[in-house]
Amino acid sequence: MQIILIGDPVAHSRSPAMQNAALAHLGLGHLRYAAVHTPLADLPSRVAALREPGYLGANVTLPHKQAVIPLLDELEPEAARIGAVNTIYKGAGGQLIGANTDAPGLIADLRDGGADLAGASVVLLGASGAARAAAFALAGAGLARLTIANRSIARAESLVADLRADAAASPPEMIAIALDAPALPAIIAAAGLLINATSLGWQADETPLADPPVSPHALVYDMVYRETHLLREAAVRGARARDGAGMLVQQGALALTRWTGHAAPLAVMWAAFVDCRL
């Protein structure tokens, strides 16, 4: 049986090595995890194929975390609140259920990295699927202030409106702002945590902020799970820099449990990720 990663692109992903190591460790070697390049035009047929007996489920990555929702039968409550799905698994009747393991995976890794979220001022870069998961997770983590910065301010404003409409999130003070707004550098300088939830960083010369004006007391977190321009520049300024490897492992562990019913072997998954990165 197969579990697949659906996205465009997916060639860079370390999830197959991580998940296959975990499956082998659990004695589930008959299950295989594979990355499957899926342009948007192929998304409906790719999701429809998951209904076949040979598939156990899937992960969903950029840019399909929102587009996949209408193709599913059910959503877990958290995924419905967030409006983004990164994990698909089958219910008892074979129905396709969407979950979001990015949100708890991010919070777990931020805390592992020493982030103190209670009363914090946080700047989140991006407003797409990954950023939506981060925003909803952060809004319920006791922040004092959350600033969402995006190239399209309309999209950032839409995300802020969704957060405010979600009574369960009890959101902090929230601001939507454009990435090129003159006020943004001062907001970043005063923040204790800066998170990049855009895809900018997979290529060495890409960055959402060429000159991040971060405080030396801040934590700069990039969901891209490699060293990025943003993280290097943050380190030069004395800030703590952390990439998204821990989030990848944490969300993958939660997804694995949904597919198999087994507790995920985190140490095995970490080791496989590190071996793949070397």
Whose structure tokens read 């342009």? 39
Q: Looking at residue 205, what is its pLDDT?
A: 77
Assign residue 52 the CATH number of its domain.
3.40.50.10860
pLDDT digits (tens, 9 = 90+) for 175-228: 999 999 999 999 999 999 999 999 898 776 789 998 999 999 999 999 999 899
How many structural domains compose the chain? Answer: 2
- Known catalytic residues? 65
pLDDT digits (tens, 9 = 90+) for 227-276: 999 999 999 999 999 999 999 999 999 999 999 999 999 999 999 999 98
Do both 45 and 138 map to the same domain? no
Do both 89 and 107 map to the same domain? no
- Give the residue among 75, 62, 81 at the shortest CA–CA distance from 198: 62
Q: Looking at residue 46, what is its pLDDT?
A: 98
Do both 83 and 139 map to the same domain? no
Task: Confirm if 248 and 18 have CB atoms less than 8 A apart.
Answer: yes
Whether the pLDDT of residue 145 is over 80: the answer is: yes
Across the range 48-67, mean pLDDT stands at: 96
Whether the pLDDT of residue 71 is over 80: the answer is: yes
- Pick 30 or 277 by higher pLDDT: 30
Whether the pLDDT of residue 170 is over 90: the answer is: no
> ω before 39 within 30° of 0 (cis)?
no
Do both 77 and 140 map to the same domain? no
Residue 169's pLDDT band, with cuts at 50, 70 and 90, is: low
Helices H / strands E in the chain, number of each:
10, 12
Report the chain's mean pLDDT, rounded to a whole number: 95
Do both 207 and 223 map to the same domain? yes
Q: Looking at residue 201, what is its pLDDT?
A: 85
Assign residue 147 the CATH number of its domain.
3.40.50.720
Whether the pLDDT of residue 134 is over 80: the answer is: yes
d(CA 75, CA 88): 9
Residue 263 structural domain: 2-100+246-277
